[in-house]
Chains A and B, each alone.
Chain A
Amino acid sequence: MKGKKYEGLLYITPWLIGLVVFTAFPFFASLFFSFTDYNLMSSPNFVGIDNYKTMFQTELFWKSFGITMSYVFITVPMKLAFALFIAYILNFKLKAVNFFRTAYYMPSILGGSVAVAVLWRFLFADTGLVNMILALFGVDSISWLGNPDYAIFTISLLRVWQFGSPMVIFLAALKNVPESLYEAARIDGASKVKTFIRVTLPMITPVLFFNFIMQLVQAFQEFNGPYIITGGGPLNSTYLFPLYIYDNAFRYFRMGYSSALSWFLFVVIMVFTLLAFKSEKHWVHYTEVE
């Protein structure tokens, strides 16, 4: 029985090793590299905060950062709104809920694949399916991927299309809202909209919060979509920050500079996450249900 205390430790040893070798060490190493001029060829020299200085003076850095911010703040709210809207409808006791849930969930499963990014290129090509459909309604063809003003929106749509996983989570939360609360609202004569805002929404804020954080962290790291569909163009209009990091790290092998870039992005993500956690107490209600 004396070995019992260390038995548990034994079971988590693989994880502990992984944590140190593949997470903690790289985490601090990248902070270290961000203060060097490491380029894989010669050993790293300490350059102080030069990388950060260069970064803030580079036009492309600001451009890429700006695009990333607009991408995140287009994608995340749209995706969550869709997810919640469809989950809300699915939560009425409809027949064929499982069928619809599966159908809506499918894009999230396939969405990360290169094949779907390829599909997006065809859908939104100048003579692609979307423009063909619009033409039926007499709308002039839109250059979805060629126009710098629209391209980021088109990329965004790819991720909004995959609202399945937050939707499934919303649906589970909606099912947990006690029927008695709706009953009470109904007796008070509250309208559907009012019931939704006053009863449903407050009850699911913890899940809304969770989904928001997860989607936020994910959106800041978006790479596949722009890399495959537009390659960052036209005119760098979809050159999201991860692409900027990728180019510097794995095309130019500027490991020091790209480490500084990734630390910058890391800090930005952390700031937004912390802001969300700070704001939590103002709008997230944790209610014990029964």
Chain B
Amino acid sequence: MNEQDRKKLIAENDLRLRKRLARRNGINSGLRYFVLTFVGLLMLYPLIWLLGASFKSNAEIFTSIGFLPSSFDFSGYVNGWKTSTEYTFTTYFINTFKIVIPKVIVTVISVTLTAYGFARFKIPGKKFLFSILIATLLLPNLVLRIPQYIMFNSFNWLDSYKPLIVPSAFAVDAFFVFMVIQFMRGIPKDLEEAATIDGCNSIQVLTKILMPILKPALISVALFQFMWTMNDFLGPLIYISSVRKYPVSIALKMSMDASALVHWNQVIALSVIALVPSLVVFFLAQRHFVDGITSSGIKG
């Protein structure tokens, strides 16, 4: 009887606890939405404000908190695009894509080949090589900048896009290699073995069997490389010296320095334009970004 009483008591207690928890959950989930929305607005408002400010007059930029301009002024875009140099932003955009497009292509190819080698073949000293790959993942790039510059100088590569593109053809971005290796390890080998028995050589196995399965991972690689290269500032700052060859990132900094005291709206309009390619790509493919970052083997 004693035992029964205790069980009943526990059950009642449990029920009460559950009810209280349920009630609290209701309040809590409201609170959660509030926090998420509030923090989210706080974080995104600057970007929204930037868009609105690009249509404001110079005087209005520093006097109105609101997003909407009192009247739409496109002069920031028109004059900003012309820039104070002899080139327009058209040139700078073309330059950026002259770096980004080849870089993304060679990255995807070199990363795929390297990951394939690591994930599917017996290589003498593989363990050691793989640990070196991981070590380069943590190696601060900063320590390599100076000798790389000296090296590219001796190759006569300065003031060209080669220092920015060529290393990527040799899979120097360890992060991507690691990501694709992790992805490949998750793919069963059955299909490839069957294809080998049917007489496919290893290149055919890669292009015909693996590549279609790898597509999401490779898209992630391409997207990240696209974003990072679009945003890269230090690379071109070090290597590109003629204004004619500047990418958008450097041109934007230059226009900020040249006109920060007078033509704020131009700088803001140009910033908006500079963000457009990244934003478009992000919204078209945001699933791949999140998947890419979580599938890189970084799971609890």
Contact = CB atoms under 8 A, between A and B. Distances in A.
Interface string A66-97: 00000000000000000000100110101000
Contacts of A136: 65
A266 B46 contact: no
A86 B65 contact: no
Q: Is the interface of A mostly helix, strand, loop or mixed?
A: helix
B65 A129 contact: yes
B202 A7 contact: yes
Contact of A92 (B29, B61, B153): B29
A255 to B, nearest CB: 6
A206 B297 CA distance: 12
B143 A173 contact: no
Contact of A263 (B143, B232, B267): B143
Contact of B293 (A22, A165, A227, A250): A165
**Most B Cβ at <10 Å: residue of A8, A11, A129, A165:** A11
Interface string A235-278: 00000001001100110000100110011011001000100000
Given A169-B293, A207-B300, A18 B171 contact: yes
A136 B140 CA distance: 43
B147 A186 contact: no
Interface string B108-132: 0010011011101111101001001
A249 B147 CA distance: 10
B300 A206 contact: yes
A223 interface: yes
Given A118-B267, A169-B293, A207-B300, A15 B170 contact: yes
A258 B139 contact: no
Contacts of B268: 118-119, 122
A110 B275 contact: yes
B132 A26 contact: no
B249 interface: yes
B284 interface: no
Nearest to B290: A168
Contacts of B65: 129, 132-133, 136
A128 B300 contact: no
A26 B147 contact: yes
A22 B150 CA distance: 12
Given A4-B121, A94-B29, A19 B136 contact: yes
Contacts, number: 268
A125 interface: yes
Contacts of B136: 19, 23
B165 interface: no
- Name the interface size band of chain A: 35 or more
Contacts of B49: 123, 129
B145 interface: yes
A26 B252 contact: no
Contacts of A105: 286, 289-290
Nearest to A287: B300
Contacts of B177: 15
Interface in A1-56: 4-5, 7-12, 14-19, 21-23, 25-27, 29-30, 33, 38, 40
A129 B123 contact: no
A106 B44 contact: yes
A106 B47 contact: yes
Contacts of A23: 136, 139, 144, 172
A273 B46 contact: no
Contact of A4 (B35, B122, B146, B171): B122
Contacts of A103: 40, 43-44
B70 interface: no
Nearest to B130: A12
21 contacts: A9-B117, A11-B113, A11-B114, A12-B129, A14-B113, A14-B114, A15-B133, A18-B172, A19-B136, A22-B172, A26-B147, A29-B147, A29-B150, A86-B36, A105-B286, A118-B267, A118-B271, A122-B264, A207-B299, A224-B233, A262-B145
Interface of A: 4-5, 7-12, 14-19, 21-23, 25-27, 29-30, 33, 38, 40, 86, 89-90, 92, 94, 100-107, 109-110, 112-116, 118-119, 121-123, 125, 127-129, 132-133, 136, 161, 165, 168-169, 171-173, 176-177, 186-187, 189, 203-204, 206-207, 210, 213, 217, 220-221, 223-224, 227-228, 242, 245-246, 249-250, 255, 258-259, 262-263, 265-266, 269, 273, 289
